[in-house]
Amino acid sequence: MLIKEAIGSGPSVDAAIEDGCRQLGMSRDDVKTEILNLPVKKTLGLFGGAPARVRIYVEETPLTIAQNYLTSIFEQMGVLEPDLKVEENENGAVFTISGDDIGFLIGRRGETLDALQYLAGLVANRNTDSYYRITINSGNYREKREQTLTALARRMAIQAVKTGRNVSLEPMNPYERRIIHTAVQGIRGATSWSEGDEAARHVIIGPEKGGSPAPKREGTGQGRPPRRDGYRGGGKPRGKRPPAKTEGTQKPTGAPIDKEIVAPQNEKPEVPLYGKIEPKK
Q: What is the CATH classification number for the domain harbouring 156?
A: 3.30.1370.50
* Higher pLDDT pick, 80 / 278: 80
E strand map for the chain? 2-10, 32-37, 52-60, 83-88, 92-98, 133-138, 167-171, 190-195, 202-207
Q: How far is CA 162 from the centre of its chain?
A: 33
Comparing 60-69, 133-142, 165-174, 243-252, the range with the smallest average pLDDT is: 243-252
* Number of domains within the chain: 3
What distance in Å separates the CA atoms of residue 31 and residue 16, rounded to the nearest whole number?
13
> In whole numbers, what is the pLDDT of the chain averaged over residues?
75
C-alpha separations of 276 from 45, 104, 193, 227, 268 in Å: 79, 17, 22, 10, 17
pLDDT at 18 over 60: yes
- Could you count the other beta carbons within 10 Å of the beta carbon of residue 82? 19
Q: Is residue 135 situated within a structural domain?
A: yes
Average pLDDT over residues 256-268: 35
With b for 16 or more beta-carbon neighbours within 10 A and e for fewer, the 138-148 pattern comes to beebbeebbeb
Q: Any idea what the Cα angle at residue 108 is, between residues 73 and 117, rounded to 5°? A: 40
Q: Is residue 192 domain-resident?
A: yes
Give backbone dihedrals phi and psi of 77, rounded to 5 degrees, phi first. -85, 0
Range(s) of the domain holding residue 180: 146-276
Tell whether 223 and 121 lie within a shared domain.
no
Q: What is the mean pLDDT of residues 267-279?
A: 42
Which stretches within the chain are classed as H helix?
13-24, 62-76, 111-125, 141-163, 174-185
Amino acid at 131: Y
CATH of the domain at 54: 3.30.1660
Residue type, 216: K
- Give a yes or no: residue 281 inside a domain: no
Quick check: is 189 in a domain? Answer: yes
> Confidence class of residue 2 from pLDDT cuts 50, 70 and 90?
low
Per residue in 61-117, pLDDT (tens digit) is 888 889 888 988 888 888 767 788 888 888 899 898 887 777 788 887 788 888 898
Check if the beta carbon of residue 168 is closer than 8 Å to that of residue 159.
no
Global pTM value: 0.52
- Other CB atoms within a 10 A radius of the CB of residue 180 amount to 25
Residue 206 has pLDDT above 90, yes or no: yes
Amino acid 254: pLDDT: 40
pLDDT digits (tens, 9 = 90+) for 37-61: 888 887 766 667 788 999 988 878 8
Residue 11 located in a structural domain: yes
130 and 22: one domain? no
247 has a pLDDT exceeding 60:
no
Residues 159, 260 share a domain: yes
Task: Return the pLDDT at 213.
Answer: 66
The residues with which 144 forms a beta bridge, in sequence order, are none
Same domain, 72 and 174: no
Per the model's pLDDT, the better-predicted residue between 236 and 77 turns out to be 77
In degrees rounded to 5, what are phi and psi of residue 104? -70, -15
Q: Compute the distance between CA of residue 262 and CA of residue 246 in angstroms, rounded to an integer.
A: 11
Residue 109 and residue 52 share a domain: no
- Cα-to-chain-centroid distance, residue 111: 10
